[in-house]
Amino acid sequence: MFHLVFYIFIGALNLFYTDASKNGSNSELWIITASSSLSVDGKTNINTFKCVVSSYGKTDTLNIDLRKDGNSFFKIKSILDIPVSNFDCHHKMMTKDLQKTLKMNEHPLMYIDIKSLNRLPNEALQSGSTGDIHISLAGAKVKYQLQFNGKSYPNYLELVGKRHIHFSDFGLIPPSKLGGTIKVKDQLDVEVRLHMRKIS
């Protein structure tokens, strides 16, 4: 039943944007698929760890305004909301500590707001792309610039964006254990994997 509803939804979007293009639409619409993912790599003073959201779990859209108007970036409309509870650090205590540090009870969602790209997704396959995003986490919003690289697969295009961020960017204190004997470093390496299909 889900697949039937999904394909009806895609068909309706295709029809809408086909009609819009006849009227001089200046946009591209992409579907961000449920298989998109997010990973965070970090370090403590004694080892490393990885926390992942292995699947976005739903579909979303990315709308690109093709009119640069003298600006070197294409404006994007796409906000991804990710439940903090979906992070898995492959260790129960580490997962719990991360979710507590990110204030999951007060701010259950992390938002990734993609604001712009300097190249269209198809163009990123050859030359990569630079994008501006806003990350909202634990009640704070921070602007970052990500470098995206593209790769083509039979049924979708993958954009992979990477960036160093810090707990302190969001006013957060990294977790520690055993009276401070084990301390998580402030820096985190974030990787966003967007699986996308163009529908107009």
> pLDDT > 90: what percent of the chain?
74
Helices (H), the chain: 2-22, 92-101, 124-127
Say how far apart CA 121 and CA 105 lie, in whole Å.
35
pLDDT of 178 above 60: no
Cα 182–Cα 186–Cα 188 angle in degrees, nearest 5: 110
CA–CA distance from 68 to each of 20, 29, 75, 134, 157 (Å)? 19, 16, 8, 20, 23
Instruction: Kindly report, residue by residue over 75-108, the tens digit of the pLDDT.
Output: 999 999 999 999 999 989 889 999 999 999 999 9
When the pLDDT of each residue in the chain is averaged and rounded to a whole number, the result is: 88
Is the CB of residue 186 less than 8 Å from the CB of residue 167? yes
Average pLDDT over residues 127-140: 96
pLDDT in tens, 5-52: 444 455 555 544 444 444 457 899 999 999 999 999 999 998 999 999
CB count in 10 Å sphere of residue 59 = 15
Q: Which of 18-22, 125-129, 161-165 has the least mean pLDDT?
A: 18-22
Cβ–Cβ < 8 Å for 157, 196: yes
User: How many other C-beta atoms lie within 10 A of the C-beta of residue 43?
Assistant: 16
By residue count, the chain amounts to 200
| Residue in the block written with tokens 């977790």 | 175
Other beta carbons within 10 Å of 36: 23
Helix, strand, or coil (residue 167): helix
Mean pLDDT of 132-159: 96
